[in-house]
Structure 1
Amino acid sequence: MTTNRKIYLTYIITAINVLICIIMFSIDKSFNFSVETLLKFGAKYNPLIAIGEYYRLFTSMFLHSDITHLLFNMYALNIFGKNIELIYGKVKFIIIYIVAGLFGGLGSFIFSNSVSVGASGAIFGLLGAYLYLYLSNPDAFSSNYLKNLLAILGVNLIFGILVRNIDNWAHICGLIGGFIVSWSLGHRGENVFSSKKVLAQLLTIILLFTSLFAGIQLNQKSWEYNLYKGEKYLDQEKFDKAEEEFITGLSKNNDIYVFHYYLGRISLMKGDIDEAEDYFQTAVDIKPNFIEAKEFLSEINKIKQRP
């Protein structure tokens, strides 16, 4: 491995992550960013991705939940990223990093319902690149180096299983994605356009799109999907379509007060006061301190008392 080549992509990625964290901190003013802040900046959240906000699979890999999360990931990135940038070259390195991060996000999209952020899926992808390098060129590794690499992988995966709020599916799928995309590109000097590499590249693209499709199909079955899609229709003033989504969401979970609230508002716009009253009352029954629904009930009561 040549060591006199300049390394800068690892530093640029680190700087981007740090800058975004600083911007988030200037808005949130907290050492633990709220879910609202994370979503505003592009966190992975399944219902929003399922309704078409696919960019979250990309943006989420540059966000972190707090300063500790950021420092830990940037430390790992600078340990593993520099060597991968040297071994694979800058173009292949950035492709590996981004595609592995997308695989991590897609794994989380399919297997985890939680709001998720972090560069760890992409960083595990760099470990996948190391594994490919070992399998394709075992002489490049000493036995001790391989043991250390496997130990790092094992400890991180076990840590992710034992500790709450760690998205282990992003780690596992990022690792697999990093290996696959490294295999499809090869390290520095390998011919990207050989027949075997082109087949591996096609496999990588197929896996990405089939994973996205599978995630969308799975998450469209949730009531959250209907809620966010209905809200999007409300913003577009497509009230009939919004009503359909909220009714479908109610059929999945009748205890979600916002479905009743939105359907009450739509009923009011249609002039069906009795139906609106029923919806608002149900919303208040589910959430007794729901001020907005109480205000609508008060207005409906005034209308009914008019001569």
Structure 2
Amino acid sequence: MVHRLTWFEPQRGDELLREFFITALIDMSASLTLQDCQGKYICITTLPPRWFLPAGAVPTDETIFGPDIGARLAELKAGLSKAGERAELEIEPGDDTFFEFRCRLIEMSNGKLHLVTIVMDRTEDRRRERLLRALLREVSHRSKNLLAIIQSIASQTARYSGTLEMFLAKFRGRLHALSQSQDLITDSSWRGAYFRDLVQQQVDRYVQDNVDLVRATGENILLSPNASLHIGLALHELIVNAVSHGDFIARRKPIEVSCMRVEGEKGPEIVILWREPLGKADSEAEDALRTSRFGSTVLERVVPTSVNGSAVHTMEAGEVLYELRFPLEIED
């Protein structure tokens, strides 16, 4: 017997109920067939368009679904012998579609066994599963890259930090800059981050009350995820140096940072240029300033190497100049 409660008003009539159930099955992308214990089809509803019953043909698994699927269904159904037994079969016809057949043997009110088969179109579910797996692989890949970057930053920071306190201060700042850039990349669905957004992040953190003293010009290029992480790190390093050792705020002399696309010897390149004005200082003060600012492994090695580019970091003619040049990554 069918144990689950089904209730309806008898006076509504069979025609209304048929319309209701067929519409519901269509909305569910489901098909339903009913066979007696000898395998004779009694009812077929809303089959997918790919399967149909030829005119004048007697409905069987083979005439409806073809010889291959029909044989598999017949074998599956033959294994059911008692009421309540069920079996499932997954079918991939070969045209990027996917169907699930659910067969169940039930006992009707007259005591006879009948076979109910539900055919579910799972094509969209399967596509979503494939997309989710691809996304998980991408997350895993990017996580490994991010961990490698963090490991590199930690190693280089430790190498050039004289004390634990110095290491922690530098490492935390660099890690925070990395996380901010990662937020921009995530918000763009991993397409990357725009140059001016990367600049704005660092300006908002370190010179929030003097945002007009850092001017971003040139093209607002969408940088690749890898370039975004490392350019964000370079901008962090530059602005921390400017705030810690420079006098641009006191002198109200703006820093200019630009981004442009140029044609290099091997193809399109991106050039990022940082120009920071300096006040006049005697030779001893200038040497101290140079020592405190330069020798930055992050700016001169880590960042350019990570983007397959080159960097120039100098202090001359009353200004700090940092130029980073690297190939433009073309996203497919």
Identify, as 1 or 2, the structure richer in helix.
1
Could you tell me the TM-score, scaled by structure 2's length? Answer: 0.23
TM-score by length of 1: 0.25
Larger Rg: 2
Higher RCO structure (Cα 8 Å, ≥6 apart): 1
